[in-house]
Amino acid sequence: MSVIIILLIVSICISGGFLAAFLWSVRDGQFDDDQSPAQRMLFDQKITKK
């Protein structure tokens, strides 16, 4: 049964990883603007400068 402790630690580490990823994405500004990226992805490749 003591294997449960290892399982607990592993599961907390994994979910902690997701938490870190979430915090990172917030910090990066991914949640600041929820409209432009949704439209930006529909455009063709960016035009390069002449």
Partner 1 sequence: MSNASTTLSCYHCGNEVPDASIATAEKYFCCSGCKTVYELLNDYELCTYYELNKKPGLTQNRISRKEKYAFLEDAEIQKKLIHFSNGQQSQVSFYLPQIHCSSCLWLLENIQKVDEGIVSSRVNFTKKEIFIVFDPKITSLRKVVETLESVGYEPHLSLNEISSKAGRKTDRTRWYKIGVAGFCFSNIMMMSFADYLAVSNTVDAGIAFMLKAIIVLLSLPVLFYSATEFFISAWNGLKHKYLNIDFPVALALAITFSRSMYEILSGTGSGYLDSMSGIVFFMLIGRWLQARTYQTISFDRDYKSFFPIALNVVKDGSITPTEISKVKENDVIQVYSNEIIPVDAILSKGNAKIDYSFVSGESFPVQVNIGEIIYAGGKQIEGLLELIVVKEVSQSYLTNLWNNPVFTKKEAPKKSTYDIIGKYFTYLVLALGLSAGWYWYGKGEPVLMWNAITTVLIVACPCALLLSENYTNGNILRIFGLNKFYLRSPEMIEKLSKINHIVLDKTGTITQANGANVRYTGKILTPEYRRIIASLLNQSSHPASKLAADFLNEKELSEVVHYKEVEGMGIEGWVSEHHIKLGSSKFVGGAYNNEKPGTKVVAYVDGEIVGEFTISNKYRFGVTKLIQSLKKKYTLSLISGDNDAELENIEDLLGKDSDVLFNQSPQQKLEYINQLQRNYGQNVAMIGDGLNDAGALKQSDLGIAVVDAGNNFSPSSDGIIEATKLTLLDTFIQFAITGKKVILFTFAISVIYNVIGLYFAIQGILSPVIAAILMPSSSITIIGLTYGLTEWAAGHYGLKEYKKQPFPNPN
Binding site for partner 1 (CB under 8 A): 1-2, 4-5, 8, 11-12, 15-16, 18-19, 22-23, 26-27, 29, 31-36, 39-40, 42-44, 46-47, 49-50
Q: At 30, which amino acid appears?
A: Q
* DSSP reduced 3-state for 10: helix
Distance CA(50)–CA(33), nearest Å, equals: 30
CB of residue 33 to partner 1, shortest distance in Å? 5
Distance CA(20)–CA(11), nearest Å, equals: 14
CB of residue 50 to partner 1, shortest distance in Å? 7
CB of residue 28 to partner 1, shortest distance in Å? 10
